[in-house]
Amino acid sequence: MSEKKLRRLPLAAAALVTCMSAQADYQSPDGNFRLSGFGTLGAVHSSTNDVEFNYPGQGGGAGTTPNISPDSKLAVQGSYKFTPTFSATTQVMTRYDANSQYVPSVDWIFAKWQALPALTVRGGRMGAPFFMVSDFRNVGYANTTVRPNLDVYGQVPTDQFEGGDVNYQYALGSTTFNATFYAGDSKADYASAFRSSGRELGPSNFQLKKLKGLNLTAEMDNGLTLRAGYSKAKISLTSDSVNGLLALGAQATGLGILNSSPALVDVGAKITNATNATLVTQDKDISFVGFGASYDQDNWIISGEYTKRRSNSFIADTTGWYTNVGYRVGKFTPYLGFSRLTVNSSNVTATTVVPLAQVAPLTTFANGANSGIQSVLNVQKLAQRTITLGSRWDVMPNLALKAQWDQIHKPADSWGLFFTRDPSAAQEQSFLQNRRTVNVLSVSMDFVF
């Protein structure tokens, strides 16, 4: 990616902020067409260069040199009402992606039908509703913190799906209940851990097929909102790392190597394309459940979520939770948060392959298989906990400035959610093997227009 391309995003954001005071959005005279947008210009600084801080899936992030890539984004959204009950919405967003580029993408494009006053049907590409703030997780201005909590939101690699949903709304006294059923497919690219010179692998591709889910919410007039959600899907993963292991397994099978020892037979079961191959992730079951609550009344802003991910592939079972408390003081909102991501089960245990004979094909296979399996299974080592302290300043009705400090603690034998350009390098291995504390400073300018 050229430096010229890299500079375009913040320059465009600055230009938009300049004209925001004149008009918050555009609406046609007949009220049928509306054009709006949002963006963030942010910078992140980390206390280490051993690994990089980023959103999980991005192709790079921040070290000791401040970096705008993790948080900066720009989006434009347009909607048109064809009839009083039928409309369409499109959202185009530019943000840092798995290929280390800022490339515009159509994140939303869907039609909406208000079938009944209490019943809404949508179809197309929409935000994936796995979390409490899924619909506006990318809108920095709508969130108190610089970014949604990664210990929770980093568990799912995609934030959109293609399919449909049905929402039914029911009012009981002062409480409004919503039930939403959705179904479809989702996919996302996820940056490989190997991005160093000469060893760069392309992004992995995650696909959630036959995705189905149900969300229930209760909104009360005292500022309290409760949410519960469950989803399940068939997950498929395509990656250069796994493909390399499959090729290696096929080669070893042809040479008769996999039957030369019990240890290698065990490894072969993991990497050959068989029904029980645990490193082959094609149409494996995965599920996600989440509970959340938020309170926004007078000066207090309190939110929290508790989530669990379960899988029958090498993708680890995890539990994530966070709580965040903010208090408005005029135009300022200082806040404090705590969160944790725990690996409950790795589901697959790596096998250390030791050459059992000085036969060249055996030694080559053993070394290659061991390195490849360890590389793939590194995605299981996610455990970390975070303390967050920050403040938001609402400069004007459509512009907010934020400053945030995150202290991230990760245990030994864990990468946390950090990005590693070469997991085999000495400094990355030292980071993996030891307990570490990483301080991350973030500043952002969030705006809507």
pLDDT of residue 359: 43
What's the token pair of residue 33? 């067409």
- Residues 307-333: what's their mean pLDDT? 94
Place of tokens 């009402």: 81
pLDDT(231) > 70: yes
Length of the chain: 449
What's the farthest any 2 CA atoms get from each other in the chain?
81
Q: pTM for this one? A: 0.85
Q: Phi, psi (5° rounding) for residue 11?
A: -65, -40
Least confident of 177-191, 211-225, 364-378, 416-430: 364-378
> What are the residues whose beta carbons fall under 8 Å from the beta carbon of 258, sequence distance 6 or more?
249, 252, 264, 265, 267, 268, 272
User: 335, exposed or middle or buried, with CB in 10 Å at 0-12, 13-18, 19+?
Assistant: buried
Confidence of residue 232 (pLDDT cuts 50, 70, 90): very high
Pairwise pLDDT comparison (388 vs 244), residue with the higher score? 388
pLDDT(7) > 50: no
Report for 12-26, 49-63, 338-352, 399-413: range of highest mean pLDDT: 399-413
Q: Phi, psi (5° rounding) for residue 329?
A: -130, 95
Least confident of 11-25, 37-51, 123-137, 254-268: 11-25
From residue 260, alpha-carbon distances to 45, 255, 264 in Å are 50, 10, 7
Strands (DSSP E) found in 128-280: 160-172, 175-190, 204-220, 224-238
List, for residues 269-295, the tens digit of each pLDDT value: 555 544 445 556 778 899 999 999 999
- Amino acid identity at 182: Y
Report for 55-59, 194-198, 246-250, 264-268: range of highest mean pLDDT: 55-59
Q: Is the dihedral of CA 411, 415, 416, 418 positive or negative?
A: positive
Domains of the chain: 3-448 (2.40.160.10)
pLDDT of residue 376: 65
pLDDT(196) > 70: no
- Measure the CA–CA gap between 417 and 431, rounded to whole angstroms: 12
Angle 245-250-251 from CA coordinates, rounded to 5°: 95
pLDDT(353) > 50: no
Helices (H), 329-425: 360-377
- Measure the CA–CA gap between 227 and 295, rounded to whole angstroms: 12
pLDDT(373) > 70: no
What's the token pair of residue 145? 């913190």
Strands (DSSP E) found in 312-398: 317-327, 332-345, 384-396
Q: Phi, psi (5° rounding) for residue 149?
A: -60, 120
- Nearest residue to 87 via CA among 112, 116, 124: 112
Buried b (16+ CB within 10 A) or exposed e, 360-372: eebebbbebbbbb
Q: Phi, psi (5° rounding) for residue 313?
A: -115, -165
- Measure the CA–CA gap between 36 and 23, rounded to whole angstroms: 10
* β-bridge mates for residue 445, sequence order: 41, 401
Q: Is the dihedral of CA 408, 187, 276, 271 positive or negative?
A: negative
User: 173, exposed or middle or buried, with CB in 10 Å at 0-12, 13-18, 19+?
Assistant: exposed
> What are the residues whose beta carbons fall under 8 Å from the beta carbon of 364, sequence distance 6 or more?
none
Place of tokens 């036959």: 210
54 neighbors 432 (Cβ within 8 angstroms):
no
Strands (DSSP E) found in 397-435: 399-410
If residue 125 lies in a helix (H) or strand (E), which one and from where to where?
strand 119-127
- Residues 16-29: what's their mean pLDDT? 59
Least confident of 25-29, 308-312, 424-428: 424-428
Provide the Cα torsion 360, 363, 365, 368; round to 10°: -120
Confidence of residue 385 (pLDDT cuts 50, 70, 90): very high
- Amino acid identity at 49: N
Radius of gyration from C-alpha coordinates of the chain: 23
List, for residues 140-185, the tens digit of each pLDDT value: 999 999 999 999 999 998 899 999 999 999 999 999 999 999 999 9
- Nearest residue to 404 via CA among 415, 392, 413, 416: 392
